[in-house]
Structure 1
Amino acid sequence: MTVQDLRQLLETNDLPALQDWLARHHPHEIADELGRADAVRAVLLFRLLDKDRALAVFEELGPSDQHKVLSGLRDQAFRDVLEAMDPDDRARLLGEAPAKFARHVLAGLSPRERTMTAALLGYPDGSAGRYMTPETVALRHHLTVGDALQVVRERGADAETVYTLPVIDDQRHFLGTLSLRDLVLNPPDRQVVELTDTTTPRVRATDPAETAARLMQEANLLDLPVVDSEDRVLGLLTIDDAVEVIEAADTEDIARQSAAAPWSGHYMSASVVQLARSRAVWLLLLIFAATLTVNVLQFFEATLEQVTALALFIPLLVGTGGNAGAQAATAAVRALAVGEVRTRDLLRVAWRESRVGLVLGTMLAAVGLGIGTLLVDFPVAATVALSLILVCGWAATIGATMPLLAKRLGIDPAVISAPLVTTLVDATGLIIYFLLARLVLGL
């Protein structure tokens, strides 16, 4: 049965057939369809799921889609779903929800779940503390393997994960980690402290969640310990949450690099007005930035009147310069995101990209000189070729350094989007072109 069949079943309200469809599909597939559906149909599908499967589907939804489903549930079903959620997932849901909704949720939770959720909500938005799970099994360093296994058996059912076990001293200070594999494969009388990996990295609860998630990616970790300012273990950042953090960060960067504001929720469930609103502000800003290009053309109007052939190559120059700048900006933002460059590398990146731009410009200049000679006289073609070299070098330098400067000033580097770089390079590229034309052509 296809997705198209599902939509037909929703139209006809064929409940037995809908239940059959839900039984045949995985939770992530069902969650995708709930994200696509409007609130009424999403709640209808969700209510047809049994309790365990409903929770699995709910955890696959993003916070905005979770709120959409919860808004249509009755009080008891509402409380059952929220009570069964992991504390970190619940904290992220409430962090993006209206304050009234968050208070209503907290009031309906059991004391234990309310305490854990409130503690996570006390950490800054976007921090590792918001994403960590406090439901972990920590082992005292003086335990034997046999005693440690007994602790895992007794407390493991209430933990989100037991694959990575933080090892602590009597004051809960972090000493390292022990994997469940090593625990199971060693003799019962061996000491936990002998098996502890003391090189395992950890992060503070107030550190950015994206930084922590990137660290897990680089170090190939399943779980990352999260500690407080005194190095006491608070919880673990698990790999599934780290993947979500990286996906959200990359999604936001892609939106900003394309000159749009990021939005939450499923694309297919977003209204036309929502999508337009996410792009409108940036387009208005780019319109104002584009007036620089108009002013440059107006300033060099006399030069164009003397050699009208120069106008033929304006689209070629601004297009090439904009593309070169956009390529460099995208590469710089990506390198910053994954930690390959830092703000202190600004001068090195500028020197590197300026040479890359000059090499690319030289290659394009050879092509431009040949095409230009066929269309106009050689002096104009030579002007275009030289301009391509300088414009590409300038564009690559500007495109690569602007994100690093933004990072140094505390601005999200992704805000320095490719369209913004392109618009700025258009205006400055034309200045280079016309000044070079005056020099070469003697105007």
Structure 2
Amino acid sequence: MGSEEFLEFVKEQDLPFLKDWLSTQPPHAIAAELVRVDAAGMALVFRLLDKGKALAVFEELDPSDQQAILEGLRDRAFRELVEEMDPDDRARLIGEVPAKVARRVLAGLSPYERQMTAALLGYPEGSVGRIMTPEVVVIHRNLTAADAIDVIRTKGGSAETVYTLPVVDDGRKLVGVASLRDLVTADRDELVDALAEKDYVSVRATDEAEYAARLMREANLLDLPIVDSEDRVLGFLTIDDAMEVVEAADTEDVYRQSGSEPLAGAYLLAGIRTLASRRAPWLLLLFVAAILTINVLDVFEENLAEVTALALFIPMITGAGGNTGAQSSTAVVRALALSDVRPRDLPRVLWREARVGAFLGLTLAMAGIGVGMMFADFDLALVVAIALLAVCTWAAIVGGSMPLLAKKLGIDPAVVSAPMVTTLVDATGLVIYFTTARIVLGI
């Protein structure tokens, strides 16, 4: 059964066909289809899943979509579902749903699960401590490989991962990391301390989750140890959670680079007012910023009246500048996200982007002379060429510097990306264009 058939069977509430389809699909495929139906259809499909698969599907969903399912469950089913969730997934859910739903989730937990969840919620929002799994198997450095495997057999059932094992001393301080493979293949009497990797990577629980997630990718890790200020083991950041963090961060950057706030949940489940509210503030801000362009045109109104042909090339000048600035801004924002550049690299970035902008401007200037000659005389074509060179150079400098300056001021670099850069370059580009015209044409 394809996607469209699934939607049709949900609409018709054809339970036999739905049960048959659900029994043959993995959790991630079911979750992908659930977000395409309304809340009522989502609740209907979810009730057809067996307990184990229902939990797996539920944990594949975003918190806003999880909330829609929880609101349709009776108290007993609600309690069973939230009790079986991993602590980190539960903490993420509570951190993003309304307070009323969060209180209901906490009230339905056993004391032990509530305590673990509360501990994670005690860390700052956006920190890796919020999303780490505290359910890890810790092994002492003085154990033998055989004893360590016995510990894993005893405690591994409740742990989220046993492939990577933190090795600790008597004070539970992290002294190394051992892999399950090394323990299984080692001699039974070999000490864990000899098997542990001492050159390990770890982060503090208060560090940013995005930083920790990208560090995992750079270091090619399946699990990243999380420690407190005294290097005592608190938990792990697992690879699946790290991938979700990176995906969420990249999604947020994409939305903000286009002049919009990111959506919480699936696009098809978001209402019209929600979609509009995410975009309207940015449009209003850019609308106000565009007043600069109107002011520039007002200042140079006499020049336009004297040489009306100048108006013909305004779209070309502003378009070239805006596009150049947007390209530069996008490249630097992405480089910041990948830690390829840092705010202290501002002078190097400015020098690079100035040369790139000049090269692009020279390329467009050569084409601009030809276009100018098609619609005006040589003098005006020369104005267009010089303006294109100057505007593209300036736009690349602005586009390359604004994200770095924003980062230094503690502002999300994506906020000052393409739309903001384009609006600013439009206004300043026109100043460059008309000033060039005054000098060359003597008006």
TM-score when scaled to structure 1?
0.99
Q: Distance in 1 between matches of 2:100 and 2:311?
A: 60
Please say if 1:251 is aligned against 2:270.
no
**1:307-322 equivalent positions in 2, closer than 5 A:** 307-322=307-322
The residue number in structure 1 matching 2:225 is 225
The residue number in structure 2 matching 1:299 is 299
Specify the code of the residue in structure 2 equivalent to 1:70: L
Please say if 1:159 is aligned against 2:159.
yes
Structure 1 residue 11, shift from structure 2 partner: 2.0
Q: Distance in 2 between matches of 1:87 and 1:99?
A: 18
Structure 1 residue 18, shift from structure 2 partner: 1.0
The residue number in structure 1 matching 2:325 is 325
The residue number in structure 2 matching 1:393 is 393
The residue number in structure 1 matching 2:240 is 240
Where in structure 1 are there 5+ consecutive unaligned residues? none
Specify the code of the residue in structure 2 equivalent to 1:142: N
Deviates more, 1:1-10 or 1:391-400: 1-10
Structure 1 residue 132, shift from structure 2 partner: 0.4
Structure 1 residue 285, shift from structure 2 partner: 0.7
- List per-residue Cα deviations over 1:323-361 (Å, max 9, x = no partner): 000001111111111100001111111111011000010
Please say if 1:129 is aligned against 2:129.
yes
Deviates more, 1:353-362 or 1:365-374: 365-374
Structure 1 residue 91, shift from structure 2 partner: 0.3
The residue number in structure 1 matching 2:187 is 187
The residue number in structure 1 matching 2:423 is 423
User: What SS class does the counterpart of residue 183 from structure 2 fall into?
Assistant: helix
User: What SS class does the counterpart of residue 197 from structure 2 fall into?
Assistant: coil
The residue number in structure 1 matching 2:372 is 372
User: What SS class does the counterpart of residue 178 from structure 1 fall into?
Assistant: strand
Does structure 1 retain, via aligned residues, the 8 Å contact 2:399–2:417? no
The residue number in structure 2 matching 1:279 is 279
The residue number in structure 2 matching 1:145 is 145
Q: Distance in 2 between matches of 1:101 and 1:17?
A: 32
Where in structure 2 are there 5+ consecutive unaligned residues? none
Specify the code of the residue in structure 1 equivalent to 2:437: A
Specify the code of the residue in structure 1 equivalent to 2:6: L
The residue number in structure 2 matching 1:34 is 34
Specify the code of the residue in structure 2 equivalent to 1:266: A
User: What SS class does the counterpart of residue 16 from structure 1 fall into?
Assistant: helix
Structure 1 residue 23, shift from structure 2 partner: 1.3
Number of residue-to-residue matches in the alignment: 443
Structure 1 residue 100, shift from structure 2 partner: 2.5
Structure 1 residue 395, shift from structure 2 partner: 0.2
User: What SS class does the counterpart of residue 59 from structure 2 fall into?
Assistant: helix
The residue number in structure 1 matching 2:440 is 440
Runs of 4 or more off by more than 3 Å in structure 1?
none
The residue number in structure 2 matching 1:198 is 198
Q: Distance in 2 between matches of 1:137 and 1:416?
A: 44
The residue number in structure 1 matching 2:414 is 414
Deviates more, 1:27-36 or 1:417-426: 27-36
User: What SS class does the counterpart of residue 4 from structure 2 fall into?
Assistant: helix
**1:54-69 equivalent positions in 2, closer than 5 A:** 54-69=54-69
Q: Distance in 2 between matches of 1:260 and 1:200?
A: 39
Specify the code of the residue in structure 2 equivalent to 1:283: L
**1:346-361 equivalent positions in 2, closer than 5 A:** 346-361=346-361
User: What SS class does the counterpart of residue 235 from structure 1 fall into?
Assistant: strand
Does structure 1 retain, via aligned residues, the 8 Å contact 2:37–2:269? yes
Specify the code of the residue in structure 1 equivalent to 2:123: Y
Structure 1 residue 417, shift from structure 2 partner: 2.4
CA RMSD between the two structures: 0.8
Q: Distance in 2 between matches of 1:328 and 1:433?
A: 21
Q: Distance in 2 between matches of 1:275 and 1:107?
A: 32
**1:14-93 equivalent positions in 2, closer than 5 A:** 14-93=14-93
The residue number in structure 1 matching 2:8 is 8
The residue number in structure 2 matching 1:403 is 403
- List per-residue Cα deviations over 1:281-334 (Å, max 9, x = no partner): 100111111111011011001111111111111000000100000001111111
TM-score when scaled to structure 2?
0.99
Does structure 1 retain, via aligned residues, the 8 Å contact 2:11–2:41? no
Deviates more, 1:15-24 or 1:48-57: 15-24
Does structure 1 retain, via aligned residues, the 8 Å contact 2:368–2:381? yes
Structure 1 residue 36, shift from structure 2 partner: 1.9
User: What SS class does the counterpart of residue 357 from structure 1 fall into?
Assistant: helix
Structure 1 residue 137, shift from structure 2 partner: 0.6
Q: Distance in 2 between matches of 1:104 and 1:367?
A: 65
User: What SS class does the counterpart of residue 36 from structure 1 fall into?
Assistant: coil
Q: Distance in 1 between matches of 2:207 and 2:68?
A: 30
Please say if 1:262 is aligned against 2:253.
no
The residue number in structure 1 matching 2:108 is 108
